Structure 1
């Protein structure tokens, strides 16, 4: 029996066909025989015949033309209206007119969990998007889906046997993409059963962890959250952080600046206070400030010569969280909103907080991370290994740690990082795990470490370190330098996706039987209040004629 593919949207309750359609999209409603599909309305957009670009490119003289027609069909079933998109018909729908998790929920309930084919996932921490496909039937594990750190954006697979008379394969995102043998006269029955699948919660048994972190795309939810985000810029008590949304090398001299309303002063580091004062100085108030201002204004990263190296919108550079619904929190990171189950937050806190200790290193009072590592090492009789590498020849550089603390019977690898941005912390956590794993698996890396220690602290200290490595008498400490004044909150000081990343690393280190602690180091510097004088630019040299 022939099958057909179509994309199906579910309109929100109470939304009419007229309310769901965008204006001026070139679509015209046409009459359709209601006897075939009851309650059917069809909108068409004929394509314009065009010559393919490659005809001229290849010098082909034959007369060629191609066109793509589009359609959107609306079918009412009971009190709900379904929209069926063909071609580029989905462009006719308003973003706030349809249910944004319809496709995902139907697929989670209808798909055979052992006959999956493809996943589209998002890593909120790094903003990496991946499509993973396998040439055979498999489960989520084979598709490399990590439930606590990946957001499922789309899932494709074969339908369960009990639904094979309706659909053969299903793909779910905001819409539902189905391959179905259903004839027009049975379309109403198909839509009814799909709606039943959408309302079902059975998927929670089959995929118990898959909905712990979900992207939020529905404008009806996003718009009020964005209003809260804009208001939080002026709220001194709000849990909002401005950060560079990328991994930075703090060994290089760098400054930050704001633009969009004229250039601001330059600063040594990124703080929401600076941005708030910048917009207030340009006349912005809590009442007039909107999310469009956040998308328009920019954060500039400057190098040591005060030249712009990178730039991001303020909108993308903010981290914020708020609890709106019972059982869920909403987290904003890298320009997107995510709904996080409260149960996940509670499990993260329960797992992470026991690793938290009071600060065992002195407060940060120097101008850079490199200077802190050097001065603290000297003051505590430790070995500074910052900006060194123990990686085997031909491999990517891997630092053993920043500070190697030497105890009487053991040693401690301390990894230090300034700031609590997700990208920065992910780099720190991975460094802690990768360095220990490399020491455990590479004799060359261990020898390089001992040579580094001997060069910096002498042969006696190197022998002590060698004995500690031989007897596994070593531990790891993650030290996060921050201006946050809430050490009692422990892991809650970190963005939620950093907590997820930290748990993953702690599990890996625990599997290697490595003792590990996490500490928050007070940042006592006044980097937040010090502007930099602007260096005059050199005149541009004329271009030779």
Structure 2
């Protein structure tokens, strides 16, 4: 049994408000409350904001009651109380949430990386329990990995040159246990076990850790992308987003996901309502760009930044009960270039690559040399297929493999060996017309597959490739496939049509730099040519 002197700890979530949003947040939270209670004199300006808790029957009671004998009608009612603790400390305003209180805290009020920064400043890289990250390439897949025990970050699938860290959970350094307990989690909010009697001392420690910038030195690889805070730059970035939304085929440049899905904050929405939520409003299990477009058109509006910020998105749970509301803007993922630097939008916040990250990426790409045998120049008109055919026809030693798919592995898996091969120099060319990060990522994946299959100790793929070459019927010799090739004897050449690697969007550069690092560690010779 706990003794009278044992510290009372309470699991809490705390947010840091943006200074510019403090007045708005305080006004709206107090308007939503039943009663506002001031705290003790030793915590000046602080308040406990109690939220209304109406009694009601659970939603599952009515359908279950139809199974009861003799028309029984159990009377079951419950309440879901909620509250917030508003605590000024120095120049910062902290908001603790209890119960459904978190649903009253708007995304635009809070510092988006507060919890993550704090967790990274406390948790060593060898004491991670969970990592949640968003892949900023292609479709911006979101991944969450959880370990059964505190583990090293290298045991997770986190890729620092590809992923935007959204949330981290782990065991803090032991010297912080008296303040934060033995488990913390940080995303937008910071979750930990608070010793209630030491609220002020704890907030001072939180402020010190957040302002220390130690998260950058302790976790440099998790801070390759940093939040943009300059208001003038944010306006320019939003203007570029507006240009995308008002341009042709904006759906190809925008991905949609609930803000909480990226950070792992709160309950995971299972259904969505775009626009005003009425009894007859249609729900959808997915956020679809076309659905938003139809909604805007139904209001005689036009797609653009203003519409994105004005359109409400209601987030519903599995029972279609509302668990939150955000704007369509906060659901968008996008990539734009400002002043030669690529920026990404995620959960309503803009991020830019860290200067050190840019420098290291460019340094890696500078290692790319030219192939021993150069392909002919592109005429700037042909698509990939005609260019590959024309290039291969320019020299009898160039063999065309474009669209010659090799069936291999389970199911209907089919792989393209390369686009063009020059056997005298043992060069494999992989040709792509770049169309942003997605096109380059496809190129990188093709090179990876060939590096894995063609150079594998298992000869099965090479045997299938030999069969395919024979079936083509061009009389090509396949003796070079009878033994396992050596990595250092072959050159893997990335070919971009009409663009130097230096002219690619930054995150496309990251994909190539990552591939280059992987292959060079395995002893491959990699080159690059712009045609």
| TM-score tier (shorter) | 0.7 to 0.9
RMSD, aligned CA: 3.8
C-alpha separation in 1, matches of 2:46 and 2:511: 49
Give yes or no for the alignment of 1:179 onto 2:193: yes
C-alpha separation in 1, matches of 2:309 and 2:354: 27
Structure 1 gap ranges (5+): 248-287, 297-311, 485-489, 522-545
Q: Say if 1:385 and 1:394 are closer, same or farther in 2 by CA, change over 3 A.
A: same
Who is 2:184 aligned against? 170
Q: Tell whether the 8 Å contact from 1:96 to 1:218 is kept in structure 2 after alignment.
A: no
Who is 2:449 aligned against? 434
Cα deviations across residues 102-126 of structure 1 (Å, max 9, x unaligned)? 2122211222433221111111013
Cα deviations across residues 422-470 of structure 1 (Å, max 9, x unaligned)? 1121111111121121011131111122222333364453235657947
C-alpha separation in 1, matches of 2:376 and 2:307: 40
Who is 1:130 aligned against? 143
Who is 1:498 aligned against? 508
1:22-33 equivalences in 2 (<5 Å)? 22=28, 26-33=32-39
Q: Say if 1:21 and 1:323 are closer, same or farther in 2 by CA, change over 3 A.
A: farther
Task: Name the SS of the counterpart of 1:22 in structure 2.
Answer: helix
Shift of 1:211: 0.8
Who is 2:174 aligned against? 161
Q: Tell whether the 8 Å contact from 1:28 to 1:44 is kept in structure 2 after alignment.
A: yes
Q: Say if 1:25 and 1:122 are closer, same or farther in 2 by CA, change over 3 A.
A: farther
TM-score norm. by structure 2 comes to: 0.74
1:284-323 equivalences in 2 (<5 Å)? 291-292=305-306, 319-323=335-339
The partner residue of 1:51 within 54, 57, 74 is 57
C-alpha separation in 2, matches of 1:349 and 1:444: 38
Who is 1:8 aligned against? 14
Cα deviations across residues 41-89 of structure 1 (Å, max 9, x unaligned)? 1222223323222222223632222332221221122333211111232
C-alpha separation in 2, matches of 1:316 and 1:154: 18
Aligned residues: 448
Shift of 1:322: 2.1
Cα deviations across residues 128-180 of structure 1 (Å, max 9, x unaligned)? 11111011111211222222221111111122222211211211122211122
Q: Say if 1:333 and 1:353 are closer, same or farther in 2 by CA, change over 3 A.
A: farther
Shift of 1:405: 2.5
Cα deviations across residues 467-501 of structure 1 (Å, max 9, x unaligned)? 7947964321111224x5xxxxx432122222111
Who is 1:152 aligned against? 165
Q: Say if 1:242 and 1:517 are closer, same or farther in 2 by CA, change over 3 A.
A: farther
Give yes or no for the alignment of 1:192 onto 2:170: no
1:415-426 equivalences in 2 (<5 Å)? 415-426=430-441
Shift of 1:4: 0.9
Who is 1:394 aligned against? 410
Give yes or no for the alignment of 1:332 onto 2:332: no
1:179-328 equivalences in 2 (<5 Å)? 179-180=193-194, 182-183=195-196, 185-214=197-226, 222-230=234-242, 244-245=252-253, 291-292=305-306, 319-323=335-339
Who is 1:273 aligned against? none
C-alpha separation in 1, matches of 2:249 and 2:335: 5
TM-score norm. by structure 1 comes to: 0.72
The partner residue of 2:494 within 478, 482, 485 is 478
C-alpha separation in 2, matches of 1:510 and 1:316: 36
Q: Tell whether the 8 Å contact from 1:246 to 1:423 is kept in structure 2 after alignment.
A: no
Q: Say if 1:205 and 1:217 are closer, same or farther in 2 by CA, change over 3 A.
A: closer
Shift of 1:34: 2.3
Task: Name the SS of the counterpart of 1:360 in structure 2.
Answer: coil
